Amino acid sequence: MDKIQQDLFITTVLSNWELAVKRASKVFDSYNDEEILLPIAAGKNRVVYLLGHLTAVHDRMLPLLGLGERQYPQLDDLFISNPDNAATALPPIQELRSHWMATNALLTEKLSAWTPGEWLERHTAVSAEDFAKEPYRNKLNIVLNRTGHLSYHLGQLALLKK
């Protein structure tokens, strides 16, 4: 694999990540601040919960991938540690929307700057010992996994047709 092929491999992975982010942003943008409180199906998570959940999960990618400190750790309590609950007060919706856009822009900028070798480095949730035995537990794996996680929730969001 020459340099051009390496770059193509990475561009293809990155474009799949960017496409999934773009699709999700389009869905979130299609709901106004009232509609975003609708559940994706009866008794299931609200759209706003998935917005907060995906933002928190993507924000967690920063330290996991060695890209820096988290920006919005306060989201975890509402959107990761606890299930959706309409009785709990939410942060302002516009703030959540803005965090979603900012975290993805930051991540995509940083991923775009990686060398091929950096994609294959270990992520911070695996020890050096375990990584020596399981080298597929690398940063590429995290990006592929989180792209899949985003697609998973995109499928759920698609159930609530506008």
Whole-angstrom distance, CA of residue 149 vs CA of residue 54: 9
Whole-angstrom distance, CA of residue 10 vs CA of residue 1: 12
As measured in angstroms, the least distance from the Cβ of 38 to a copy of itself is 13
As measured in angstroms, the least distance from the Cβ of 125 to a copy of itself is 15
Site membership for a copy of itself, residue 129 (CB under 8 A): no
Residues 7-36 that bind a copy of itself (CB under 8 A): 8-9, 11-13, 15-16, 20
Stretch of residues binding a copy of itself (CB under 8 A), selected from 61-69, 79-87, 89-97, 138-146: 138-146
Whole-angstrom distance, CA of residue 63 vs CA of residue 136: 19
Q: Which residues pair with 122 in a beta bridge?
A: 138
Whole-angstrom distance, CA of residue 2 vs CA of residue 25: 35
Asked if 76 and 57 touch (Cβ cutoff 8 Å), the reply is: no
Binding site for a copy of itself (CB under 8 A): 1, 5-6, 8-9, 11-13, 15-16, 20, 40-42, 44, 116-117, 119-120, 135-136, 138, 140-141, 144-145, 147-149, 151-156, 158-159
